Amino acid sequence: MDQSRIDALRALAVSPGSHLIDGQNVAASDGAIMDILSPIDGTVLTSLARGTVQDMETAITSARAAFEDGRWAKQPPAARRKVLLRWANLIEENALELAVLGVRDNGTEIGMALKAEPGSAAGTLRYYAEALDKVYGEIAPTQSDILGLIHKEPVGVVGAIIPWNFPMMIGAWKLGPALASGNSVVLKPAETASLSLLRMAELALEAGLPPGVLNVVTGEGRVVGEAMGLSMDVDVLVFTGSGSTGRRLLEYAARSNLKRVYLELGGKSPNIVFADAPNLEEAAKIAAAGIFRNSGQVCVAGSRLLVEASIHDEFVAAVVRAAEALRVGDPLDVNTHVGAVNSEAQLQQNLRFVETARNEGGTIVTGGDRILTETGGYYMAPTVITGVAAEATLAQQEVFGPVLGVTAFTDEHEAVRIANATIYGLAGAVWTSNLSRAHRMVRAVRTGVMHVNTYGGADGTVPLGGVGQSGNGHDKSLHALEKYTNLKTAWIKL
Ligand code: NAD
């Protein structure tokens, strides 16, 4: 990464943003805007259209018209593949520009943002572009005078609601399979992370995606997100975000057209370290990275560290060393390991969790404070808290910040019991040299993803989704295509 190029990009003014509807940049119907603050220094970066219910309805109408006339859905698969591949290439060609814009908006450290945002988004789009003409329907094993065909059809209009932690990566997890399957999409980015997604959507037009096939409406979740959820003309709603919003989306679907709703929600993922882990020093470094990168604003973050009692003190000391070695600061400095927290509100919430943990008997071994206040930005020291009881607030509720709670266990049975004692089930890990124990733990811990002797980094070939209150859908891999297609049976008498 070239610091001087990054600095040149950060010096550019960011033009006020507007919706992207039917291929056009349009302002809110009532002209309202909202200020966008940069978490780097707390200053106003630019403004965005503060969408209205009418704006969302216009975007959905545009998506519906695009779907019905077949301008995208009825193009030959090879033509659609070409457009998506061109889009992926454009994202890569503009990767640094997109990454810097996104970091100015959401605060992720640039090293991670470059890989996880444009890098990952381009890879995801390419994966689904390549897949779209390799997924077949089926012929049913019927009696001989019948032909039973099972078609896979696009659902129509997909509504996608995206959070702020990795907007391009998560956006592409929805857009890739939705568009590859021939649907039209209306995308609603998070209030505090819209800029890079808007730019990415403009590049889609440049790549040849017909106007109206991808529309972006910015604004507040409780206004435009709610309008999307309540629409009678959105067929499938895909969402990544908090459980409380997910609950609302299910209600919206029940109150409107019973649209299918897929939720990717939060987690309280257990990172379980046994005394026989192959390399404890390495495990400690990865455990620290697994919670502190992107200031802990990672859905699969290993936010609960469960350590076998016999190595507890030694292992915690190694994690603390790794945490204190992380350089927190300006996310656009290439030497920064941990950037800014996304917003003042999120930072305050993180600090409240630390206070509660202290009140409930936890010991703050490192961190716990807001730092770098002189910058005007939102920074927090990586925080390790020991003595966290399995039922404590910190062990039960998602912080979505750089706060690691540590709990000791005495044997495998107790480790499983503690690991499964939350409402969540998104991710987890087990560190052990014992192959049988590794397999037993993979089966016993109730999550959508289990890592063994590593944490994070699962690529697009495997699904990501939760169990319990971590959600009900899967992003990534060919399985994600199922959300964006309907099965249709043709029963033919021969
Ligand atoms: P959030 O629920 O506050 O917001 C997510 C999106 O929902 C935003 O675009 C927001 O504007 C919109 N929204 C808010 N209220 C709405 C409403 N009433 N109707 C419709 N839309 C509404 O979540 P967040 O704080 O942006 O994201 C953090 C959460 O996302 C964490 O819980 C995290 O674990 C989760 N997450 C999950 C995954 C995963 O794959 N499972 C990945 C990343 C983040």
- pLDDT of 149 strictly over 90: yes
Among the atoms of ligand 1, which is closest to the Cα of residue 226? 19
The number of CA neighbours under 13 Å toward the Cβ of 364 is: 18
Angle ∠(354,248,421) on CA atoms, nearest 5: 45
CA atoms within 13 A on the CB side of 17: 32
**pLDDT tens per residue, range 305-332:** 999 999 999 999 999 999 999 999 999 9
Tell me, what's the pLDDT at 11? 97
What is the pLDDT at residue 253? 98
> What is the distance between the alpha carbons of residues 379 and 107, in angstroms, rounded to a whole number?
9
Q: Which residues are catalytic?
A: 264, 299
Give the global pTM: 0.97
Q: Could you tell me how far CA 314 lies from the centroid of its own chain?
A: 33
Q: Report residue 1's pLDDT band, with 50, 70 and 90 as the boundaries.
A: confident
Q: Is the pLDDT of residue 479 over 90?
A: yes
Q: How far is the CA of 12 from the centre of ligand 1 (A)?
A: 29
Backbone angles phi, psi at 129, to 5 degrees: -60, -45
Q: Do domains 3-265+471-491 and 270-459 have the same CATH topology?
A: no
Backbone angles phi, psi at 297, to 5 degrees: -90, 60
- Protein residue with least CA distance to atom 35, ligand 1: 241
Spatial distance between the Cα atoms of 304 and 48, rounded to a whole number of angstroms: 37
Going by C-alpha positions, the residue among 367, 364, 363, 401 that lies closest to residue 381 is 367
The Cα 278–Cα 453 span in angstroms is 8
Longest CA span, the chain: 79
CA 469 – ligand 1 centroid, Å: 14
Ligand 1 atom closest to the Cα of residue 398 is 32
- Average model confidence (pLDDT) across the chain: 98
Nearest to 215 by CA among 204, 207, 225, 226: 204
Q: Tokens 């459980």 label which residue?
A: 243
Cα–Cα distance, 48 to 2 (Å, whole number):
29
d(CA 105, CA 197): 11
Per-residue pLDDT at 7 exceeds 90: yes
Measure 246 CA to ligand 1 centroid, in angstroms.
Answer: 8
Q: Rounded CA gap, 178 and 484, in Å?
A: 5
What is the distance in A from the centroid of ligand 1 to the CA of 239? 7
In the predicted model, is pLDDT for residue 385 greater than 90? yes
Question: Of all protein residues, whose CA lies closest to atom 28 belonging to ligand 1?
Answer: 241
Measuring CA to CA, which residue among 405, 449, 404 is closest to residue 430?
449
Q: Give, using CA atoms, the residue closest to atom 42 of ligand 1.
A: 299
Q: What is the structure's pLDDT at 494? A: 98
4 CB-near residues (< 8 Å, 6+ apart): none
Does the beta carbon of 174 sit less than 6 angstroms from any atom of ligand 1? Answer: no
The residue to mutate among 192, 240, 247, 298, having the most atoms of ligand 1 within 8 angstroms of its beta carbon, is: 240
Q: Has residue 250 got a pLDDT over 90?
A: yes
- What's the average model confidence in pLDDT over 451-462? 96
- Mean pLDDT on 173-182: 98
pLDDT value of residue 474 = 96
Find the distance separating the first CA and the last CA of the chain, reported in whole Å: 64
What DSSP designation does 119 have? I
Q: Is the shortest distance between the CB of 6 and ligand 1 below 6 Å?
A: no
Four-residue CA torsion sign, 198, 202, 203, 205: positive
Q: Whose CA is closest to atom 15 on ligand 1?
A: 221
Atom 8 in ligand 1: which residue has the minimum CA distance? 190
List the alpha helices (DSSP H) in 339-433: 344-359, 393-396, 412-419
State the closest ligand 1 atom to the C-alpha of 470, by its place in the atom list counted from 1.
41
161 pocket-lining for ligand 1 (C-beta < 6 Å): yes
Q: Answer for the pair 55, 48: CB distance below 8 angstroms, yes or no.
A: no
Q: DSSP character for 209?
A: P
Supply the pLDDT for residue 307: 98
When pLDDT is averaged across residues 140-156 and rounded to a whole number, the result is: 98
What's the CA gap between 168 and 99, in Å, rounded?
Answer: 9
Ligand 1 centre to CA of 163 (Å) is: 4
Task: Outline where DSSP puts E strands in 6-65.
Answer: 19-21, 24-26, 33-37, 44-49
pLDDT digits (tens, 9 = 90+) for 192-230: 999 999 999 999 999 999 999 999 999 999 999 999 999
Distance separating alpha carbons of residues 396 and 218, to the nearest angstrom:
32
**CATH C-level class of 270-459:** alpha beta
Amino acid letter for position 351 = L
Decide: residue 108, CB within 10 A, 0-12 exposed, 13-18 middle, 19+ buried.
Answer: buried
What is the per-residue pLDDT across 262-282, written as a single tens digit (0 to 9) for each? 999 999 999 999 999 999 999
CA of 279 to the centre of ligand 1 (A): 36
Domain locations in the chain as residue ranges? 3-265+471-491, 270-459
Cβ partners under 8 Å of residue 33, min gap 6? 16, 27, 47, 48, 49, 50
The 10 Å CB-count burial string (b at 16+, else e) for 247-275 is ebbeebbeeeeebbbbbbbbbbbbbbbbb
What pLDDT, in 10s, does the model give residues 67-126?
Answer: 999 999 999 999 999 999 999 999 999 999 999 999 999 999 999 999 999 999 999 999
Residue 110: strand, helix, or coil: helix
Q: Rounded CA gap, 176 and 183, in Å?
A: 10
C-alpha to C-alpha distance for 384 and 402, rounded to whole angstroms: 9
- Going by the DSSP 8-state scheme, the letter that residue 15 receives in this structure is P
Identify the helix (H) or strand (E) that includes residue 239: strand 236-240
pLDDT for position 368: 98
Would the CB of 164 count as within 6 Å of ligand 1?
Answer: yes
Q: Which CATH architecture has domain 3-265+471-491?
A: 3-Layer(aba) Sandwich (3.40)
**Which letter does DSSP use for residue 210 in this model?**
P
Out of 250, 299, 304, 343, mutate this one to test ligand 1's pocket (max ligand atoms within 8 Å of CB): namely: 299
**359: CA distance to ligand 1 center in Å?**
28
> Which amino acid is it at 329?
G
Predicted pLDDT at 190: 98
Residue nearest to atom 12 of ligand 1 (CA): 221
Beta bridge partners of 46: 36
Q: Closest Cα to atom 14, ligand 1: which residue?
A: 221
